[in-house]
Amino acid sequence: MLISKENQAIREKISHLDERIEEMHVAFQKYSQGIEPKKPDLRVLERELLIISRRRIFDLELSKQIDRVLFKFQNRKKIWLRWADLYQRGAIRK
């Protein structure tokens, strides 16, 4: 019973992190379009993903979900940094 409660907590945390990745994506879109003046800070999200990825998880489904979310974050991070770089280059030239 304890394992299933722990798995449920992990599942909810993974779902929450997935939602935060989507929110961060929208925030970076707004920043790169000049709508938001401040660049979003992805260090907190990255730290939380690192913490959850270091946990020992024996449930195969949860392990796959974590891998999926980590892969999604890595791909989005590349996109976000490219957007920020392009925006900053454009802003400097103006």
pLDDT band at 93 (very low <50, low <70, confident <90, very high): very low
**CB under 8 A, 24+ apart: contacts of 28-32:** 28/79, 28/80, 28/83, 28/84, 29/83, 31/83, 31/84, 31/87, 32/83, 32/84, 32/86, 32/87
Q: What average pLDDT does the structure give for the chain?
A: 90
* Between 56 and 94, residue with greater pLDDT: 56
20: its two tokens: 């935060």
Rg (CA), the chain: 16
